[in-house]
Chains A and B, each alone.
Chain A
Amino acid sequence: MRSANQIERRRQRRRRRRRRILSSGLYNTVMAASTADSWSWFPALALGVSFLKCLMINSYHSTDFEVHRNWLAITHSLPVSKWYHESTSEWTLDYPPLFAWFEYGLSHVAQHFDKKMLVVQNLGYASPATVLFQRLSVIATDVVFIYAVRECCRSVREEKGSKDLLVRPYFILAALLLWNYGLLIVDHIHFQYNGFLCGILLLSVARHLQVGNFITFPFEQGRHLEGAFLFAVLLNLKHIYLYIAPAYGIFLLRSYCFTKDNTDGSVRWSSLSLVRLIALGSIVISVCALSFGPFIAMGQLPQVLSRLFPFKRGLCHAYWAPNIWALYNVVDKALSVLGLRLKLLANLPKASMTGGLVQEFQHSVLPSVSPSATLICTLVSILPAVLSIWRCPRGARGFLRCLVVCALCSFMFGWHVHEKAILMAILPLSVLAVESREDAGIFLMLATTGHYSLFPLLFTATEMPTKVLLILLFTLYSFTSLKKLFRGFLLNTLEVTYLLGLIAVEIICEVVYPLLPWKQTLPFVTLLAKSVYCSLGVSYSFIRLYLSILRPTDKPKEL
């Protein structure tokens, strides 16, 4: 009898405890823990893509492979003072100092693979061991990216509803990021370290997103500082991220340093927290000091900066990135042809007509564009977006949207933009795409056109099946899964027609055009057609995204 009593009492106690847990906020943490247990799919997804990357070890690699090998050699065999002076190879070190230190660290592993790759004079050296090491270094540093994706997935907001894992937003986000077509081909075939860099960016974004969810992340303020620290590190790894620095600066200043708003949502100037401002500033400044300090001490700052910002290059890259300038060039071309036909123009400079491969592009009718003009265009285009998050901050989501807009502005108006830079916009936009229906539509447009515009990066016949299959895999997956997630079509007929047009462009450029007689005289027309067609889609997504940030919110303020 006594034992039965005891059992009964224990049961009651347990029930009471459970009720207490349920009523308190603790319940949320318990739930979070239980969902975290079912994250076994994540390693499966990540490992799968890593296996795929390993299979790409032997595929074609571009000159960027030699660029990075050369940097390994420079940082390994020369003293720090010579890093930014060395010019044996034409691929001089043109990333900021922290990246040089990153290469320096890698070179210590590299010497166990093949010492000859660390000799500066060994230009174009690519022994099997070198290839293996370089490829594995990209795959290994992608761990940062995988971790960042996990953090992003954990901070995704979720509606109640479907229980199926395959239509959960965080699952879709993980698949979209980990299996991102652009990253796969740019990093693991073309060869670069974007996965590592974007990993840091996403991690920093995730830190800002996680603030506010105070049950799981109690150190709210620390998270903002951590995000800022990560971004400062990122800036010192690759300076292209300067383009999105305005979004970071304004967001942190407005939402972190100013602690209170007026009732109408405008900033209350008196609420400036000096402690926060100083903490933030000291973090950023100390990272930069660590990175550039030694070079400033050696008096090399001008040399380093001249390497980092080489304005000697042309307006457009060898292959035109699908941005405004591609359209501008084509309009210029069309006008000059028209002018010649109608005898309105005479003595045009007979230049630069072979399309893609000419570096210096002289416009014949429209005014030629100078680097400072592109800079002004970029800054002017960024300004409204940044102002809008100053005037009415919409939390971390608003900041993320602003970040994507900044990245796209720089892509659209920047000087000598690479087509690869579109990844800087596509990856953060994925996070927004799984949370809102409208962003999902923009994402589909931007990702599909942006990814297609990467096609010319891989021009060898052997890579053809891989790139086609990969882009089909990614695009079909993103369409079907986002459609399932938001239960309905995300694109209108015009947009769908445009995207189907991509297939037509590809078939015409790759199958029909080589059979035509102009193939010999105008070999670059296909590249030109692709970049112009893609720039239409990118511009369209850019405008839509821009409108979405300028639109006043009717919803209550987000977290």
Chain B
Amino acid sequence: AVYHSISALSSLHVQMLVKMLVCMQPVFLWAGKPPMFGDYEAQRHWQEITYNLPVHEWYFNTTDNNLNYWGLDYPPLTAYHSLLCGHVASLINPDWVELHTSQGFESSAHKLFMRATVLIADLLMYVPAVVLYCFYLSEGSNRKKVCLVLCILLYPGLILIDYGHFQYNSISLGLALWGVLGLGLGWDMLGSLAFVLAVNYKQMELYHSLPFFCYLLGKCFKQGMAGRGLFLLVKIAVTVLVTFTLCWLPFLTDPGQVLQVLHRLFPVGRGLFEDKVANTWCSLNVLIKIKTILSTDTQLYLSLAATLLAALPSSIKLLTKPTLWQFKLALVNSSLAFFLFSFQVHEKSILLPALPVCLLLGDLPLPAVWFLQASTFSMLPLFLKDGLFVPYAVTSSAFVFYSVYLLSALEHSSEEELRLRPVRRLVCLPRVDLGRIFYLSVAAMAGLSFMSVALAPPARLPDLFPLLVSVFSFLHFLGLLLYFNVVQIAEPPSPRRKNPKKTE
């Protein structure tokens, strides 16, 4: 065990090192192109707004708060976090958050400060949750657990978006992970508290809400709706309501406030999708121009129906069988369904399905690595815009190499280990060499990445490469959505494997 403390320490260190190095990359290629600077300026602007304006003006368009310039469109917890950072920033240098005049502010000291806030948030929220998850909720030897920690923390998608592109996903994802931890360890109230906080930090966390809801409800049903189950339900409901109320307290004075915040959070007017995103609608748009032929309302209803339909099977299964394994799979299935079918999806939202897939790295290494690699790849156009190609190439090759090596993903790709044995009884699956297909797909991704950088697209099709990237990753996501659904629904009655100690 002592040896593993060395390696655990080293792996924590290495992940921090990688993150710091990604930080140092020249992200601001678009710097000096006012007035839109990307998420970095958005976060700084929010600090400026929340620090200088009273709470009731945060979400409103006023003379001091131009909502068209990176207006606040995240839930209250993000605003409070910005307020906190704003206070710290003004302590260090008041120019950083000066109203109006600080717009587009940039200096190396400020960059260091902003990067430090991300690192601190990450170290406080995400990293401990991952470590606890791996040591308490995953199976296997200590060595395997350490490998798992390293692989999850080295997932390039999150590192590149948080440290390269600049966002605070580690907070919302970290809170959601604390929620999973709470539920997994049987502390349902704490788990739901953490998850409600996650939703109140970033509304996209709603992608995970169905499994949380179904798991808790299923657990209540299992304990009997007449007695302890009902009690548990009431306790959880009270926790959720109280947490929500506390988070929204400053806005509850006026219904108009609440409506305005909700309006900011769910901008229906922005259309089915923006840019190139690896989901169904964008990929379908290549064949049929849905975005132009359908009205916005129809698009909204269509996407809602499709999303619910796609998330339904896994939710029902979870409701009838609320175990941790089912819960993790349902998290993947539901968030992936949301990503693929819901309205107004950003390419960065792939991080939401990626989190529960990370949790499956220990159980289903090959599909999980495959998915995570595809998810990083799907954000390539964004990375190119940010000038993050080198870190993208390095971290994703490192991730593929290490996760395949440390988790021995390719050796664990038999039918038994992919949990496909029950399906085999029903349908005849073709026997394929999954390892080879995996490598082919990774090679294709690498090829497409280098083509996107090196080749100029043909004049008639300026978006050729981003489109190819999104369609290619969409195919992966769709296939893996099917696979994870199959694994979840076809799970045999006794879920835990029979051979508990495997060879190390």
Q: Which residues of A contact B10 (CB under 8 A)?
A: 473, 476-477
Number of interface residues of B (CB under 8 A): 33
- Do B3 and A466 touch across chains, with their CB atoms under 8 A apart? no
**Pick the contact of A484 from B3, B16, B405 — CB < 8 Å?**
B3
- Do A462 and B390 touch across chains, with their CB atoms under 8 A apart? no
- Do B18 and A55 touch across chains, with their CB atoms under 8 A apart? yes
A469 (CB) vs chain B CBs: closest residue: B17
- Give Cα A40–Cα B390 distance, bound, in whole angstroms: 26
- Give Cα A473–Cα B24 distance, bound, in whole angstroms: 19
- Do B108 and A57 touch across chains, with their CB atoms under 8 A apart? no
Instruction: Give min CB distance, A38 to chain B, whole Å.
Output: 13
Instruction: Give min CB distance, A476 to chain B, whole Å.
Output: 6
Query: Which parts of B378-395 form the interface with A (CB within 8 Å)?
Result: 390-391, 393-395
- Do A48 and B398 touch across chains, with their CB atoms under 8 A apart? yes
**Pick the contact of B24 from A59, A167, A484 — CB < 8 Å?**
A59
**In the complex, B26 has a CB within 8 A of chain A:** yes
Q: Which residues of A contact B296 (CB under 8 A)?
A: none
- Give Cα A119–Cα B293 distance, bound, in whole angstroms: 58
B406 (CB) vs chain A CBs: closest residue: A44
- Do B13 and A466 touch across chains, with their CB atoms under 8 A apart? no
- Give Cα A166–Cα B395 distance, bound, in whole angstroms: 24
**In the complex, A164 has a CB within 8 A of chain B:** yes
- Mark contacts of A42-64 with chain B using CB atoms, 8 A cut-off: 1 yes-contact digit, 0 otherwise: 00100110011011111100000
- Do B3 and A469 touch across chains, with their CB atoms under 8 A apart? no
**Pick the contact of B6 from A40, A48, A51, A484 — CB < 8 Å?**
A484
Instruction: Give min CB distance, A466 to chain B, whole Å.
Output: 5
- Do B13 and A58 touch across chains, with their CB atoms under 8 A apart? no
Q: Which residues of B contact A297 (CB under 8 A)?
A: none
**Pick the contact of A466 from B20, B390, B398, B405 — CB < 8 Å?**
B20
- Give Cα A472–Cα B14 distance, bound, in whole angstroms: 11
Q: Which residues of A contact B17 (CB under 8 A)?
A: 52, 466, 469-470, 473
- Do B405 and A481 touch across chains, with their CB atoms under 8 A apart? no
- Do A462 and B6 touch across chains, with their CB atoms under 8 A apart? no
Query: Which parts of B1-51 form the interface with A (CB within 8 Å)?
Result: 2-3, 5-7, 9-10, 13-14, 16-18, 20-26
**In the complex, B402 has a CB within 8 A of chain A:** yes
- Do B21 and A481 touch across chains, with their CB atoms under 8 A apart? no
Known: A52-B17, A56-B21, A484-B2. A462 touches B394 (CB 8 A): no
**In the complex, A161 has a CB within 8 A of chain B:** no
- Mark contacts of B75-117 with chain A using CB atoms, 8 A cut-off: 1 yes-contact digit, 0 otherwise: 0000000000000000000000000000000001100100000
Q: Which residues of A contact B109 (CB under 8 A)?
A: 461
Q: Which residues of A contact B21 (CB under 8 A)?
A: 52, 55-56, 59, 466
Q: Which residues of B contact A44 (CB under 8 A)?
A: 401-402, 405-406
**In the complex, B397 has a CB within 8 A of chain A:** yes
- Do A166 and B405 touch across chains, with their CB atoms under 8 A apart? no
- Do B25 and A469 touch across chains, with their CB atoms under 8 A apart? no
- Do A480 and B390 touch across chains, with their CB atoms under 8 A apart? no
**In the complex, A465 has a CB within 8 A of chain B:** yes
Number of A-B contacts (CB under 8 A): 77
Instruction: Give min CB distance, B388 to chain A, whole Å.
Output: 10
- Do B20 and A469 touch across chains, with their CB atoms under 8 A apart? yes
Number of interface residues of A (CB under 8 A): 29
Instruction: Give min CB distance, A368 to chain B, whole Å.
Output: 41
B16 (CB) vs chain A CBs: closest residue: A469
Main secondary structure of the interface of B (DSSP, over half): helix
Instruction: Give min CB distance, B398 to chain A, whole Å.
Output: 4
Instruction: Give min CB distance, A17 to chain B, whole Å.
Output: 28
- Do A461 and B112 touch across chains, with their CB atoms under 8 A apart? yes
- Do B390 and A54 touch across chains, with their CB atoms under 8 A apart? yes
**Pick the contact of A55 from B3, B6, B394, B401 — CB < 8 Å?**
B394
- Mark contacts of A146-167 with chain B using CB atoms, 8 A cut-off: 1 yes-contact digit, 0 otherwise: 0000000000000000001011
- Give Cα A51–Cα B402 distance, bound, in whole angstroms: 11
B21 (CB) vs chain A CBs: closest residue: A55
Q: Which residues of B contact A466 (CB under 8 A)?
A: 17, 20-21, 24
Q: Which residues of A contact B393 (CB under 8 A)?
A: 54
Instruction: Give min CB distance, A468 to chain B, whole Å.
Output: 9
A175 (CB) vs chain B CBs: closest residue: B10
Q: Which residues of A contact B18 (CB under 8 A)?
A: 52, 55
- Give Cα A463–Cα B115 distance, bound, in whole angstroms: 13
**Pick the contact of A57 from B14, B390, B395, B401 — CB < 8 Å?**
B390
- Give Cα A473–Cα B18 distance, bound, in whole angstroms: 12
Query: Which parts of B402-447 form the interface with A (CB within 8 Å)?
Result: 402, 405-406
Interface centre among B2, B6, B9, B24 (most CB of A within 10 A): B24
- Do A166 and B3 touch across chains, with their CB atoms under 8 A apart? yes
- Do B20 and A465 touch across chains, with their CB atoms under 8 A apart? yes
- Do A55 and B14 touch across chains, with their CB atoms under 8 A apart? no
- Give Cα A463–Cα B394 distance, bound, in whole angstroms: 19
Instruction: Give min CB distance, A37 to chain B, whole Å.
Output: 15
A53 (CB) vs chain B CBs: closest residue: B394
Instruction: Give min CB distance, B32 to chain A, whole Å.
Output: 17
A481 (CB) vs chain B CBs: closest residue: B6
Query: Which parts of A448-479 form the interface with B (CB within 8 Å)?
Result: 461-463, 465-466, 469-470, 472-473, 476-477
- Give Cα A465–Cα B23 distance, bound, in whole angstroms: 10
- Do A476 and B398 touch across chains, with their CB atoms under 8 A apart? no
- Do B7 and A51 touch across chains, with their CB atoms under 8 A apart? no
- Do B405 and A167 touch across chains, with their CB atoms under 8 A apart? no
- Do A166 and B7 touch across chains, with their CB atoms under 8 A apart? yes
Instruction: Give min CB distance, A136 to chain B, whole Å.
Output: 11
- Do B108 and A461 touch across chains, with their CB atoms under 8 A apart? yes
Q: Which residues of A contact B398 (CB under 8 A)?
A: 47-48, 51
A59 (CB) vs chain B CBs: closest residue: B24
Q: Sample 18 A-B pairs with CB under 8 A, ordered by A number.
A: A44-B402, A44-B406, A48-B398, A51-B394, A54-B394, A56-B21, A58-B24, A58-B25, A164-B3, A166-B7, A466-B20, A466-B24, A469-B17, A473-B17, A476-B10, A476-B13, A477-B9, A480-B5
Q: A47-B398, A470-B17, A476-B10 given. 7 additional CB < 8 A pairs?
A: A48-B402, A51-B397, A51-B398, A55-B18, A166-B3, A466-B24, A473-B17
Interface residues of B (CB under 8 A from A): 2-3, 5-7, 9-10, 13-14, 16-18, 20-26, 108-109, 112, 390-391, 393-395, 397-398, 401-402, 405-406
Interface residues of A (CB under 8 A from B): 40, 44, 47-48, 51-52, 54-59, 164, 166-167, 461-463, 465-466, 469-470, 472-473, 476-477, 480-481, 484
The 9 A-B pairs with the shortest beta carbon distances in the complex, nearest first, are A55-B21, A51-B398, A54-B394, A473-B13, A465-B20, A166-B3, A480-B6, A469-B17, A51-B394
